[in-house]
Amino acid sequence: MSDMKRRFTLYGFGFFIGILLVIFFLGGKNTSCNWLPNDRMLQIIRSKQINYSTEATQVLNTKKVDSADIAQILIRGEIDFSKSNVKNNPCRKYLINGNDEQKNIALTVLICDSIATIQKILIE
> pLDDT for 25-74, tens place per residue?
877 666 667 788 999 999 999 999 999 999 999 999 987 788 889 999 99
The domain defined by 35-123 carries CATH number 3.40.50: no
pLDDT at residue 1 tops 70? no
Collapsed DSSP state (helix, strand, coil) of residue 31: coil
pLDDT averaged over every residue in the chain: 89
> pLDDT for 8-22, tens place per residue?
999 999 999 999 988
> Of 73 and 23, which is predicted with more confidence?
73
Question: With contact defined as beta carbons under 8 Å apart, do 64 and 123 qualify?
Answer: yes
Tell me, what's the pLDDT at 2?
82
C-alpha torsion sign, points 12, 14, 20, 25: negative
pLDDT band at 94 (very low <50, low <70, confident <90, very high): very high
pTM: 0.73
Give the domain ranges of the chain. 1-31, 35-123
Tell me the residue ranges of DSSP E strands in the chain.
Answer: 49-52, 78-79, 92-97, 105-111, 115-123
